[in-house]
Amino acid sequence: MCGIVGYTGSQEATPIIIEGLRRLEYRGYDSAGVCTLSGGTAATRRSQGKLINLERLIQEKPLSGSTGIGHTRWATHGRPSETNAHPHQAGPIIVVHNGIIENYLALKEQLRKKGHTFLSETDTEIISHLIEEHYLQSGNFEQAVRAGLQELRGAFAVCILCEKEPGTLIAAKQGSPMVVGLGEGEYFVASDIPAILSHTREMVFMEDGELVLFRDGAAVFSTVAGAPLVKKPRHIDWSPMMAEKGGFKHFMLKEIYEQPRAIRDTIAGRLREEEGTVYLEELRLTDKQLKAVERISIIACGTSWHAALVGKFLIEEHCRIPVEVDIASEFRYRNPVVNDRTLMLLISQSGETADTLAALREGKSRGAKNIAICNVVDSSIAREANGVIYTHAGPEIGVASTKAFVTQLTALYLLTVKLGRVRGTIDRLRGQEMLAALVRAPAFLEEALTLDEEVEQVARRYMNARDFLYLGRGINYPIALEGALKLKEISYIHAEGYPAGEMKHGPIALIDDQMPVVVLAPHTSSYEKTVSNMEEVIARGGGSLRSARWGMARSPTRRRLCWRSPSTTSGSRRSSCRCRFSSSPIISPS
C-alpha cells in the first residue's frame, strides 16, 4: 500500500522522510520518491524498486531543504516505474497521493483540453495539474488546493507543495488515512503512525474532508471547503511493532478489517450506475469479442480457485455462458479443450503463481483469449495476459488470503455485469440492481466485523476440535471450501468443505459430537434443504462436544489435539495447552 511522509520544520527534511518511508516498507511498495523545497526551487528524486535505490540516487544528487514530502508507491493505475513514481509535479505544484481518484479519466480529458500534458499513467498526476490549473487562475496556493480537491471523487490522502511557497505544506484526506505529528517547532505528516512515531507521540488524526496547512511554524486545521477546525492531539503509546499493525495483533487480522475498504477501492471508478454496467479499463476486449465467447475457462490455485468457483456460479447464472473451473496445476498437465472461442480467466492475487502462469501460457498457445484478475500491478500474469482486472486490495502481508479473496469476488461480479450487459442476459434495470447490491456489500461486511466478540467465543469453544466440516450449497459451497482452507492453514485443524447435499453420500459417517460443523445457510431458495442437512448433523450430535471428557479414551489420537492450538508454540506446548480431552500429560508431536 502506498505510504506518505511529509516534514516541515528547521531540520533537513530528506533524512526524516527517508527514515519514515523505511518504517512503512513492511507494507510493500514498488517505487519511491522525495521532493524538497529550497530557496524557491523544488528538487525531486524518484526511483523504481527498493528504497536503497532512491537513497543511492540522493547520495549522487543530494537534496536539501527543511520542507519536503515523500512517497512509497504500490501501483494501482499504471505500472511500477520511475515515471509513475510520486511526487508528481505540474508547474509549481507537487503532489504525493494515496488512494484512488474515481473521476480521473474525466478530469484528465478536461485538463488535456486546457493544454495540460501528462507524463505518467497515474491518477495522481491529474491532481497536480488540477491544482495548477486553479493556481494559474487565482495565484493563491491554498485556494487552488481547496478548489482542486473539491473536484476529486474517490479516496485520497495527499501532501502538496508549491515551489513558489517554500515554507508551506498542505495535507488533506478523504477516505485514506492521514495523521499529523506535532514536534517542537516542527510538524510531521504521514499516512501511518509508524512513519513518524520515533519523532513524536503527540498526534492529530485527520478526518475525511479535512485539510491542514503548515505555514510560519503553525498548523492550521480546517475543512477542505475552508471552515476552521479545532483538533485535539492524542498521545500514542503504541510500540513501533503495534503501530505497524495499526493496533491489530497481527497482519491477518488487520487485513480482515481492511476488507470493506478493499472492496470499495476495487469498485471505485468502475460503476456506470445510470447504464447499469461497469467500465473495466484494462479488459482490452471489445464488446464484439466478448459476445463471441462460447465458453469460459477459469484457472487458479488455492483461495483464488475458490473465488473462481464463485465466478462460475455468477457467470453461468447471469450470463448463461458455460464455465469450467480448473486448478492451475491440473490444467497445465492435461490436454485441455481450449480454443480461440474460449475466454480464459486467470485469477491470482500475487500474479506470480507458477502453475497459473504456466496455464496462461498453455491457453495462449492454443489461441484462447485471456483476462487476468490480479492484485499486484505489473506482475507476470498481469503483464502476459491480454487484459487485466486489478483488484485494489493493497499488499497482502498476512500469509493467508482474506481481503484478496473478497476483492477477487468483487472483480468477478463486475465482470459478470459487464458480460451480461454486453450479451443481453442482464438488462439495464437488472444491471442497476446488481450494482446497487454491490455498493451495499462493504457496509454488510462492516456489520459482520462487529461480531468479533461472538466469533472469539465460538473459537474458544471449539479451539480443541481436531476436525471441522464446512457445508454450503450453490454459491456457498466454494465459500465453505474457503472457510475450511482458512481454518486448516491458520489453526492447523483438519477441515473439509462439502456441498451440503453431498453429505449423505459418505461424509455423514464422520459426524459425531466431536465434529463441529459450520453450515452456511443464507435465506436463498436452498435454505430449507440446507436446514434439513443441519438437522441430520444435529441428530448425530455434530460438534456438541457432549462426550468431550471421555473423547480421548475413545480415541487415543485425540491426545494430539492440544498442540494444534494456534496459541501454543513449540516451546510452550506443555504449559499453555488447555486440552479439554484429558488431564494427563500432553504428548508433543515428534
Which parts of this chain interact with ligand F6R (CB under 6 A)?
301-304, 348-350, 353, 356, 400-401, 485, 489
Q: Cβ of residue 485: shortest distance to ligand F6R, in angstroms?
A: 6
* 87 preceded by a cis bond (ω within 30 of 0): yes
Separation between Cα atoms, residue 18 and residue 70, nearest integer Å:
7
Shortest reach from residue 281's CB to ligand F6R, in Å: 21
**446 to each of 18, 173, 178, 396, 397, how far by Cα in Å?**
35, 21, 21, 19, 21
**Which triple of cell numbers denotes residue 101?**
481518484
Q: Distance (Å, rounded) from C-alpha 93 to C-alpha 263? A: 31
Choose between 372 and 545: whose C-beta lies nearer to ligand F6R: 372
Query: Minimum CB separation from ligand F6R for residue 162, in Å?
Result: 42
**Residue among 122 and 356 whose Cβ is closer to ligand F6R:** 356
Report the nearest approach of ligand F6R to the CB of residue 352 (Å): 7
What the block records as the C-alpha cell of 124 is 495522481
* Shortest Å, Cβ 314 to ligand F6R: 18
- CA dist 205 and 430 (Å) reads 41
Nearer to ligand F6R, 188 or 257 (CB): 257
Nearer to ligand F6R, 356 or 432 (CB): 356
> CB of 18: closest distance to ligand F6R in angstroms?
30
| Cα 98–Cα 99–Cα 101 angle in degrees, nearest 5 | 120
Pick 7 or 405: Cβ nearer ligand F6R: 405
What's the rounded Cα separation, in Å, for the pair 93 and 116? 13
Shortest distance, position 164 Cβ to ligand F6R, whole Å: 46
Strand order in the sheet with 467-472: 494-499, 467-472, 517-519
| Closest CB to ligand F6R among residues 48, 353 | 353
Tell me how far, at minimum, the Cβ of 349 lies from ligand F6R, in Å.
4
Dihedral (Cα; 392, 490, 474, 302), 10-degree rounding: 60
CB 403, min distance to ligand F6R, A: 11
Residue number, 489 or 496, with CB nearest to ligand F6R: 489
In the complex with ligand F6R, the residue whose CB is nearer, 24 or 301, is: 301
Q: Are strands 467-472 and 187-190 parallel, antiparallel or unpaired?
A: unpaired
Whole-angstrom Cα distance, residue 33 to residue 189?
Answer: 16
Q: Which three cell numbers stand for residue 441?
A: 456489500
Q: Toward ligand F6R, which CB reaches closer, 8 or 349?
A: 349
Beta carbon of residue 302, minimum distance to ligand F6R (angstroms, whole number):
2
Q: How many CB atoms lie within 10 A of CB 434?
A: 22
Nearer to ligand F6R, 321 or 376 (CB): 376
Burial class (CB in 10 A: 0-12, 13-18, 19+), 137: exposed
**Least distance CB 251 / ligand F6R (angstroms):** 13
Among 85, 167, 95, which residue's Cα sits nearest to residue 129? 95
β partners of residue 327: 300
Residue nearer to ligand F6R on the CB measure, 354 or 443:
354
Contact yes or no for 199/187 (Cβ under 8 A): no
Distance CA 38, CA 56 (A): 20
Residue 8 CB, shortest distance to ligand F6R, in Å, is: 40
- N-terminal to C-terminal alpha carbon distance within the chain: 41
Q: Which is nearer to ligand F6R, 123 or 396 (CB)?
A: 396
Give the integer Cα–Cα distance in Å for 6 and 221.
16
- Specify the amino acid at residue 144: A
- For the CB of residue 91, give the shortest distance to ligand F6R in the complex, in Å: 41
Torsions phi, psi for 385 (to 5 deg): -70, 155
Q: Which residues contact 250 (CB under 8 A, 6 or more apart)?
A: 398
Integer Cα distance of 286 and 279 in angstroms = 12
Q: Specify the long-range contacts of residues 450-455, CB closer than 8 Å, at least 24 apart.
A: none
User: Rounded to 5 degrees, what angle do the CA atoms 221, 224, 230 make?
Assistant: 25
* Shortest-Cβ-distance residue relative to ligand F6R: 302
Report the 10 Å Cβ neighbour count for 277: 22
